[in-house]
């Protein structure tokens, strides 16, 4: 299987919870169908930050992976984010999702402790060498504090099963250097608000939380860049960033979920200690929905 099959636009899947914190299976299925049928995404990135993954037990993560695969089937590509502070949990989830038929796995860099690069490299080797699958490094320095340089990416890519990176950073110099140094490896843009800039640097796709609602506009930005229509793409990025600014100012998860609810999708609550939307936030979310999404 060639890695080109994994190129494209992926929603970082939002997860619906009930008020008591339990998984809302029907809500998750509705979010998945919305992404496939309405947002027309190429795939889903399941178990990432947007999925409130690091607030969940291993069994809950497994159940969400099962639901996503059962609902999406083979309609789109599925990438499972299995990374964990506990490498043995990551290996368990890598095996679980590979057996389910996920097209690739991904893993966030280990964080909190100040791991050396050799320790980080061993973490990735332990995960990917445990399964017959492909792995995408999840680099998100502003949350993990872990920075990987061009040469270190090269060290990771020596393992032919480590096929690319979800690049969630604003360092476009580094992005350009990685793109030039490793043209055969996949690079996914991880910041929705920087789609235009990343597309100009010829990334292979993007993975974003706002694609759950703004996927059509995001795809248009990519298409316009490919057509050389930079002015039109810039205007769409302006609109996208106005939307993102308003969402962030009102509360990311609660606003996205409220906007989905306004479209008839049971996106539910957030997992504690995250707060779900207050009445004031719901009202503001309705204004955001009507301005950008209706």
Binding residue numbers for pyruvate: 50, 207
Q: What is the pLDDT at residue 2?
A: 76
Q: What is the pLDDT at residue 118?
A: 98
Residue 166 to residue 50: CA distance in whole angstroms: 14
| Ranges of the chain whose pLDDT falls below 70 | 1
The residue segments making up the domain with residue 27 are: 3-227
* 289 domain-assigned: no
CATH of the domain at 167: 3.20.20.70
Say how many domains are in the chain: 1
Provide the 8-state DSSP code for 17: B
* 89 domain-assigned: yes
What phi-psi label fits residue 21: left (phi over 0), alpha (psi between -120 and 50 degrees) or beta?
A: left
* 22 domain-assigned: yes
121 tagged catalytic: no
Token output for 71:
């609902």
Q: What is the pLDDT at residue 1?
A: 55
* 283 domain-assigned: no
Binding residue numbers for aceneuramate: 49-50, 168, 190, 192-193, 209
* 125 domain-assigned: yes
CB atoms within 10 A of CB 166: 26
Q: Which of 138, 253, 289, 292 is catalytic?
A: 138
* 80 domain-assigned: yes
User: Measuring CA to CA, which residue among 216, 212, 289, 223 is closest to residue 250?
Assistant: 289
* 240 domain-assigned: no
CB atoms within 10 A of CB 26: 12
* 250 domain-assigned: no
102 tagged catalytic: no
């Amino acid at each position: 299987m060639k890695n080109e099959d994994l190129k494209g636009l992926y929603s970082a899947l939002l997860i619906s919870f009930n008020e008591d914190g339990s998984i809302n299976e029907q809500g998750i299925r509705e979010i998945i169908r919305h992404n496939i049928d309405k947002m027309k995404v190429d795939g889903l990135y399941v178990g990432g930050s947007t999925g409130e993954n690091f607030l969940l037990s291993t069994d809950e993560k497994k159940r969400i992976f099962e639901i996503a695969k059962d609902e999406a089937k083979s309609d789109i590509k599925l990438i499972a984010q299995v990374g964990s502070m506990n490498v043995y949990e990551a290996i368990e989830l890598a095996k679980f999702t590979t057996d389910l038929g996920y097209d690739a796995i991904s893993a966030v860099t280990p964080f909190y402790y100040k791991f050396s690069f050799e320790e980080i490299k061993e973490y990735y080797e332990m995960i990917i060498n445990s399964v017959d699958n492909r792995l995408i490094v999840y680099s998100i320095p502003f949350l993990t504090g872990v920075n990987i340089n061009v040469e270190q990416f090269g060290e990771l890519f020596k393992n032919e099963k480590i096929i690319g990176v979800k690049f969630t950073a604003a360092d476009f110099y580094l992005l350009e250097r990685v793109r030039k140094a490793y043209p055969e490896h996949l690079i996914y843009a991880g910041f929705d608000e920087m789609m235009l800039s990343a597309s100009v640097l010829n990334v292979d796709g993007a993975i974003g939380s706002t694609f759950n609602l703004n996927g059509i506009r995001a795809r248009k930005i990519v298409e316009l860049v490919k057509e050389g229509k930079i002015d039109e793409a810039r205007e769409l990025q302006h609109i996208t960033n106005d939307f993102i600014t308003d969402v962030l100012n009102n509360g990311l998860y609660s606003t996205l979920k409220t906007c989905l609810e306004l479209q008839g999708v049971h996106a539910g609550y957030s997992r504690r200690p995250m707060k779900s939307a207050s009445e004031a936030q719901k009202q503001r979310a309705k204004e955001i929905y009507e301005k950008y999404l209706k």
